[in-house]
Amino acid sequence: MKRRPPYFDPHEVARLALGGRVVVTQRVVSWLMNHDYDVAETLVEVLSNIGAHGRWIGSVVLRSSEPADEYVVVGLEEEWYVKFSVDRGQVMIHVWSCCWDGAVH
């Protein structure tokens, strides 16, 4: 059985992240701050490295019926789990999860 590709182009995600076009949940902000990470810098680092250092692990459909991609990205000396969607109407990345791979938040 052939797997379908990710919903979102990793190079477009990197471009949007480098342009600061990122919206994030309070849960993600709290987790990053509680672990002494700069929220904006960390998100840009993780999201901009999806194409070069990321491994797509799957996609989901959120409760809002939006598709979201899930990746494990190597960066900042850790493996990061990130789940995001791209709002094509507003050209924004919506980050639903961003933490160390295997961490609970």
Q: What per-residue confidence (pLDDT) applies to 64?
A: 85
Structural domains of the chain ordered from first start: 10-100 (3.30.2310.40)
What is the average pLDDT value for the chain, to the nearest integer?
91
Instruction: Label residue 7 left, alpha or beta by phi (over 0 means left) and psi (-120 to 50 means alpha).
Output: alpha
Q: Per-residue pLDDT tens for 10-37? A: 999 999 999 999 999 999 999 999 999 9
What is the Cα–Cα distance from 10 to 69, expressed in whole angstroms?
Answer: 10
Chain-centre distance of CA 7, in angstroms? 13
CA dist 3 → 34, 59, 67 (Å): 36, 11, 15
Backbone angles phi, psi at 61, to 5 degrees: -110, 120
What is the Cα–Cα distance from 44 to 59, expressed in whole angstroms?
Answer: 21
pLDDT above 70 for 2:
no
